[in-house]
């Protein structure tokens, strides 16, 4: 199952690589697009109609809830009605799978993937000098995603995921494994695995938590000592391929971040000095 925002290129790519994929259109994006075609006084009614569409459960109830905005838009905007018809029944794919309504909050929009991307942009958005001859971009991306992973939580209604997998035709063994994972403690795989892709905090996150003082500030000296220890545990360095171990990624990037910030400060100081000298010379020439 794939939740898409309406991009035709993305739609075609998903079907090319996963021909049997069931596509659910993001109701948040569709609601936003429809509101752009309507006057502001109708926005509240559209929000109520889409809220009902997200809350109902089952295919029959989903079709009835989808018919309500169709009737409403037919009276107010032909363009908005065309936008609704463009998505068609992909707006109720989750309903047709008879997924529990508790899963609709997550599975009817793309917020799950947009949130880590927003956090990633917040981390790397201020980096301006990317070096193409190094693997700097890959390291920054790995670091940002690992930081975003610390905020991951189980989705609402996660215990009902096995019901959805069964509707999608997953093997019974996979459904049972998903059920064991849902009933188990968060952040631990159902069976086997290395746990690197779970929500359990990484050792680096634990070391940061242990290095905090009573005021909530990070003790830099202790944090640096832990980074050196982790670096010895996983020997790697700059100029090599990105390490597979999350500790190495975090420690290397945190050290690189400080180096980049330090060089930026020196560069800004040199620019400020040159600018001051230029102003002094210009003002001296004017006075003469």
Going residue by residue through the chain (288 aa), what tens digit of pLDDT does each one get? 899 988 899 999 999 999 999 999 999 999 999 999 999 999 999 999 999 999 999 999 999 999 999 999 999 999 999 999 999 999 999 999 988 889 998 999 998 888 888 989 988 888 888 888 888 889 999 999 998 888 888 888 888 888 888 888 888 888 888 878 777 766 555 544 443 344 444 444 444 444 444 444 445 555 455 555 544 444 333 333 333 333 333 333 334 444 444 444 444 455 555 556 666 665 665 454
**Residue 157: closest CA among 92, 101, 116:** 101
Model pTM?
0.60
Ranges of H-type helices in 151-245: 161-167, 172-183, 203-210, 220-233
* Structural domain boundaries in the chain: 2-107, 129-150+201-288, 156-200
Cα–Cα dist 122/89, whole Å: 35
Cα–Cα dist 142/140, whole Å: 5
């Amino acid at each position: 199952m794939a939740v898409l925002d309406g991009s035709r290129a993305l739609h075609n790519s998903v079907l090319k690589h996963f021909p049997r994929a069931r596509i659910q259109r993001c109701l948040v994006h569709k609601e936003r697009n429809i509101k752009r075609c309507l006057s502001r006084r109708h926005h509240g009614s559209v929000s109520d109609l889409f809220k009902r569409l997200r809350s109902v459960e089952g295919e029959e109830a989903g079709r009835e809830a989808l018919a309500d905005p169709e009737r409403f838009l037919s009276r107010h905007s032909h363009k908005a009605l065309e936008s609704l018809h463009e998505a068609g029944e992909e707006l109720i794919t989750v309903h047709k799978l008879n997924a529990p309504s508790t899963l609709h909050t997550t599975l009817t929009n793309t917020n799950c993937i947009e949130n880590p991307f927003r956090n990633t942009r917040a981390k790397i958005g201020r980096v301006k000098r990317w070096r193409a001859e190094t693997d700097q971009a890959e390291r920054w991306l790995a670091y940002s995603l690992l930081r975003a992973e610390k905020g991951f939580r189980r989705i609402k209604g996660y215990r009902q995921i096995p019901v959805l997998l069964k509707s999608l035709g997953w093997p019974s063994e996979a459904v049972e494994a998903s059920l064991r994972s849902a009933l188990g403690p968060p952040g631990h795989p159902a069976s086997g695995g290395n746990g690197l892709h779970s929500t359990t905090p990484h050792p680096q996150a634990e070391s940061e938590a242990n290095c905090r003082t009573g005021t909530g500030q990070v003790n830099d000296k202790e944090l640096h000592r832990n980074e050196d220890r982790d670096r010895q545990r996983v020997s790697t360095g700059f100029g090599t391929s990105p390490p597979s171990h999350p500790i190495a990624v975090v420690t290397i990037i945190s050290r690189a971040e400080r180096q980049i910030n330090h060089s930026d400060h020196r560069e800004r100081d040199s620019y400020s000095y040159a600018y001051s000298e230029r102003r002094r010379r210009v003002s001296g020439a004017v006075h003469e």
